[in-house]
């Protein structure tokens, strides 16, 4: 004889609640967004990250029919803002506009309040590169010429970066190792002051972010010897990549990208990723990014996730090889 055991009300309640949560979650996704979206920028207002967030925010608000509010939350090299989003509810209403440091920080700091896996990649908005330059007065026109001079006079030359533990610092240390040269690192508080120092003749070499260097790429005070990244910069088609110049290992690009908390439903991540990618590909935003010295990307979530995985491995190996640590 078959025996059927009846559930008591107490046994049914958890199942009913679970089903209700599932229905509520599905309804929330179907109606997303139904309230204002907050975009966290982990850096001060007025910088490149802030400008891009506000440009995207205007169009995103128009496309989604909800206000998009940009909130600057600077501190601890971006960790404060990144952590705010990593720990936010996964409902799609708290978004991060991050940069390359999102994947570099775990390689540089032993104690970070969040894990990279706590963030869900939404879209890589744009990518950048560091331009390796020297004063034109140096007479150096190729990277190999600089290397030969540096080898002939160890400890005499220096290189500037836009800050300790930034991409330019890590690229500089990787270059030193690849070239086998002894040059002194001089960090600046941002690309602006670094670029000013190069134009003023205070540096013998510098890795300058393309956004800060862009207004000066035709200056008669500098020679640009190479660019980091896997491809040549569109604005400098005649300038080789570091790999083409004979020094591989600096193929990673800097980038700007958007993230949600990892707990956000895939449907919301995909929806937001599709919208952001479409915005990036509009002539208006594409033009603005180009004017900033950036290369527009507009990738979808899965593509950005694959890029994040590659970059995390790359920057970890660079930090370990150069023994760069911020702890």
The mean pLDDT value for 1-28 works out to 50
Q: Is the pLDDT of residue 1 over 50?
A: no
Nearest in space to 77 (alpha carbons), one of 51, 49, 55: 49
What is the distance between the alpha carbons of residues 93 and 88, in angstroms, rounded to a whole number?
Answer: 9
Q: Taking the C-alpha atoms of 56, 60, 66 and 72 in order, what is their torsion angle to the nearest 10 degrees? A: -20
**Is residue 47 a contact partner of residue 78, using CB atoms and an 8 Å limit?**
no
Separation between Cα atoms, residue 153 and residue 183, nearest integer Å: 9
What is the reported pLDDT for 326? 83
CA distance 264 to 69: 19
Per-residue pLDDT tens over the stretch 124-167 = 999 999 999 999 999 999 999 999 999 999 999 999 999 888 89
User: Which pLDDT does position 4 carry in this prediction?
Assistant: 44
8-state DSSP, 254: E
Look at residue 11 in the predicted model and tell me its pLDDT.
60
Q: What is the pLDDT of residues 268-322, one digit of tens each?
A: 999 999 999 999 999 999 999 999 999 999 999 999 999 999 999 999 999 999 8
> Which residue in 228, 227, 299 sits closest to 258, CA to CA?
299
- Cβ(72)–Cβ(41) below 8 Å: yes
List the one residue out of 236, 225, 205 whose CA is nearest residue 141.
225
* CA atoms of 188 and 165, how far apart (whole Å): 11
Q: Name, in order, each residue with C-beta under 8 angstroms of 67's C-beta and a sequence gap of 6 or more.
A: 36, 37, 61
Q: Report the run of H or E that residue 248 belongs to, with start and end.
A: none
How many Å apart are CA 327 and CA 325, to the nearest integer?
6
CB-based contact 94:85 (threshold 8 Å):
yes
Tokens of 196: 């000013």
First to last CA, the chain: 69
Neighbouring C-beta atoms of residue 284, cutoff 10 Å: 11
Q: What is the average pLDDT value for the chain, to the nearest integer?
A: 91
Q: What is the dihedral of CA 59, 62, 67, 72, to 10 degrees?
A: 0
Q: Is the pLDDT of residue 27 over 90?
A: no
Give the CA count within 13 Å in the CB-facing half-sphere of 326: 18
Rounded to 10 degrees, the C-alpha dihedral 115/121/126/127 comes to 50
Task: Please check the confidence at residue 77 and state whether its pLDDT lies above 50.
Answer: yes
The predicted pLDDT at position 15 comes to: 53
Query: In the chain, pLDDT over 70 holds for what percent of residues?
Result: 91
Query: Would you state the pLDDT for residue 23?
Result: 47
Q: Scan for tokens 């908005």, then name that residue.
A: 125
Half-sphere exposure of 135 (CA within 13 A, CB side): 16
Q: Quick one: pLDDT at residue 16?
A: 54
pLDDT number for residue 25: 47
Give the C-alpha separation, 247 to 234, whole Å. Answer: 20
Q: Which residues partner with 17 through β-bridges?
A: none
pLDDT in tens, 166-197: 899 999 999 999 999 999 999 998 888 999 99
Q: Three-state SS for 128?
A: strand
Token duo for residue 169 = 């610092």
Which of residues 22 and 72 earns the better pLDDT score?
Answer: 72
Question: Per-residue pLDDT averaged across 87-94, rounded?
Answer: 98
The per-residue pLDDT for range 214-253, each reduced to its tens digit, is 999 999 999 999 999 999 999 999 999 999 999 999 999 9
State the pTM of this model.
0.86
What are the Cα distances from residue 28, in Å, to 16, 91, 172? 18, 8, 47
What lies within 8 Å, CB to CB, of 145 at 6+ separation is none
Beta bridge partners of 119: 261
- Band (pLDDT 50/70/90 cuts) for residue 3 is very low
Asked whether residue 14 carries a pLDDT value surpassing 80, the answer given is no
């Amino acid at each position: 004889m078959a025996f059927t055991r009846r559930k008591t009300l107490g046994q049914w309640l958890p199942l009913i609640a679970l089903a209700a949560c599932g229905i509520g979650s599905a309804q929330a996704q179907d109606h997303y967004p139904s309230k204002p979206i907050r975009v966290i920028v982990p850096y001060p207002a007025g910088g490149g990250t802030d400008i891009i967030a506000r440009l995207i925010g205007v169009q995103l608000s128009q496309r989604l029919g909800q206000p998009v509010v940009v909130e600057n939350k600077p501190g601890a090299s971006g960790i404060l803002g990144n952590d705010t989003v990593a720990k936010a509810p996964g409902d799609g209403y708290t978004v991060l506009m991050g940069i390359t440091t999102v994947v570099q920080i775990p390689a540089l700091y032993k104690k970070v309040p969040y894990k990279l896996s706590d963030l869900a990649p939404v879209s890589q908005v744009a990518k950048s590169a560091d331009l390796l330059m020297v004063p034109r007065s140096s007479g150096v026109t190729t990277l190999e010429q600089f290397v030969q001079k540096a080898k002939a006079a160890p400890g005499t030359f220096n290189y500037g970066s836009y800050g300790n533990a930034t991409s330019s610092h890590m690229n500089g240390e990787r270059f030193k190792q690849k070239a086998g040269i002894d040059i002194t690192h001089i960090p600046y508080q941002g690309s602006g002051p670094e670029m000013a120092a190069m134009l003023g003749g205070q540096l013998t070499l510098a890795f300058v972010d393309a956004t800060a260097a862009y207004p000066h790429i035709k200056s008669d005070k500098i020679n640009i010897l190479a660019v980091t990244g896997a491809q040549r910069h569109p604005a400098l088609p005649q300038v080789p990549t570091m790999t083409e110049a004979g020094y591989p290992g600096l193929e990673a690009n800097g980038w700007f990208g958007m993230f949600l908390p990892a707990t956000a439903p895939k449907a919301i991540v995909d929806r937001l990723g599709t919208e952001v990618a479409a915005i990036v590909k509009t002539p208006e935003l594409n033009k603005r990014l180009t004017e900033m010295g950036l290369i527009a990307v507009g990738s979808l979530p899965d593509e950005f996730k694959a890029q994040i995985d590659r970059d995390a491995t790359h920057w970890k190996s660079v930090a370990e090889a150069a023994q760069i640590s911020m702890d």
